[in-house]
Amino acid sequence: MNQGRVTILGVETYYEEEGVGPPLLFLHGGFGGVDNFAYQFHEFAEKYHVFAFERSGHGRTADTERPFTFQNMSEQAISFIETMGLGRSHLVGWSDGATVALIVALSRPDLAKSLVYISQNYNQGGIPPQGAEWIKAMTPESFRRDQPHEVEAYERLSPDGPSHFPRVVEKTKKLWLTEPNFTVQDLAKVSVPTLVMVADRDMIPIRHMSEVAASVKGAQFCVIPGATHFLLSEKPALVNNIILGFLEATNPHS
C-alpha cells in the first residue's frame, strides 16, 4: 500500500492507494477516514487500483474555514479524481461518503463507472426520530461516549490536534441536520450501474434505502443480515463478496 499527500483545492490531502487495474475510489463517512475501509482495501486491490483520500477536517487532512457541505465534499472528490488522473472510476461510498459518490455520479457521469451506495439517507426523511434527536443533542462529550474509537482516531491522526475536535463536531452536526436533500427525481438521473446496500439493523431504515434502489434505474438492492451501520467491519466477507460480484457482473474486466 502506498501512502501520500496531494494538493486538492489548495489543501494538502492524505490518501492511500494499492493494486493495479481499473480505478476504484472509496469515499469515507463522517468523522472517518481511509480506515473506514480497512477490511476492503487489500481484497479489492487484488482486482482494482484502489484509492481513498481523507476529506478536509477528517483523518490526516487538516480542516479549513469552509463549512462541511456535501457539495464541498464532492468537489474535493472530483478534484482528487482529476488530479490523480483516475478517469472514470468505480465509486464506493459509505455513510456520508455515499452522498459524495452520488453527487459525483450525478454531476460528473464522465468520472463515474459505477456507484455503490451504502447506508446513507438521501434526504432528511431518512433519519428516524431517535436519530434526529441524537444528532440535535450531539456534543463532543456525547460523541466521545458513543463512538470512542472515532474520537481516539481523530485525536491521534488529525494535524489540527485534539483541541479542534469540537469544531469538527459543530460542522458535522450542522451538515447532518440540514443535508442531504435529494428527491426521487434526482435519483432517477443516475446513469451508471448502481448497487444500494444497507444492514438489517442499520440506523438508516431499510424502507428508505429501498426507495433509493427503486428510484435509480436498474439498481440492485442488498440487505446485509446481522449487522448495523458499521457493516463494512462487522460483515466484511459478505459485503466484499457482494460488491465485488456486482462490479464484475456490471463492468466485466473494467
pLDDT in tens, 152-196: 999 999 999 999 999 999 999 999 999 999 999 999 999 999 999
Neighbours of 104 (CB within 10 A): 25
Asked whether the predicted pLDDT for residue 60 surpasses 80, the reply is yes
Integer Cα distance of 212 and 208 in angstroms: 7
**Residue 24 belongs to domain spanning:** 2-250
The DSSP bridge partners found for residue 91 are 25, 115
Whether cis (ω within 30° of 0) applies to the bond prior to 180 is yes
- Spatial neighbors of 222 by CB under 8 A, at least 6 apart, are 195, 196, 197, 198, 242
- Single-letter amino acid code for the residue at 232: L
Taking only the tens place, the pLDDT of each residue in 219-249 is 999 999 999 999 999 999 999 999 999 999 9
Total domains in the fold of the chain: 1
Q: Tens digits of per-residue pLDDT, 64-91?
A: 999 999 999 999 999 999 999 999 999 9
The three cell numbers locating residue 97: 461518503
Single out the residue of 249, 196, 248 nearest to residue 220, CA to CA.
196
Across residues 10-22, what is the average pLDDT?
A: 97
Cell of 72: 464541498
Q: β-pairing, 23-27 with 112-118? A: unpaired
| CATH number of the structural domain spanning residue 86 | 3.40.50.1820
Contact 111, 104 (CB under 8 A): yes
The per-residue pLDDT for 251 is 82
Instruction: Give pLDDT, residue 254.
Output: 83
Long-range residue pairs from 121-126, CB within 8 A, at least 24 positions apart, any chain: 121/180, 121/204, 121/208, 122/180, 122/182, 122/186, 122/187, 122/208, 122/211, 122/212, 123/180, 123/181, 123/182, 123/183, 124/178, 124/180, 124/181, 125/208, 126/204, 126/205, 126/208, 126/209
